[in-house]
């Protein structure tokens, strides 16, 4: 028996959750989890500059 790991996905258009990528509203569901944090983050300075510019 093979067990397959499924992760919950969220549609950014209608905020619904499911295990399927396709959403009935026509959107595509994506993973709601943030990227893993690393102390050796090569792009952290760029991400912070971008976030500050968006504010």
Span 1-43, pLDDT tens digits? 455 567 899 999 999 999 998 999 999 999 888 877 788 888 8
Residue 4, pLDDT score = 52
Distance CA 2, CA 17 (A): 25
Between 50 and 39, residue with greater pLDDT: 50
Q: What distance lies between CA 54 and its chain's CA centroid?
A: 19
Calpha distance 8→21 (Å, rounded):
9
Q: How far apart are CA 18 and CA 23, in angstroms?
A: 8
C-alpha 31/C-alpha 38 separation (Å) is 19
How far apart (Å, rounded) are the C-alpha atoms in residues 23 and 43? 32
**pTM exceeds 0.95 for this model:** no
């Amino acid at each position: 028996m093979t067990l397959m790991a499924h992760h919950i996905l969220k549609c950014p258009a209608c905020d619904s959750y499911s295990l399927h990528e396709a959403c009935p509203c026509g959107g595509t569901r994506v993973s709601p989890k943030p990227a893993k944090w690393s102390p050796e983050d090569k792009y952290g300075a760029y991400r912070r500059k971008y976030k500050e510019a968006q504010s």
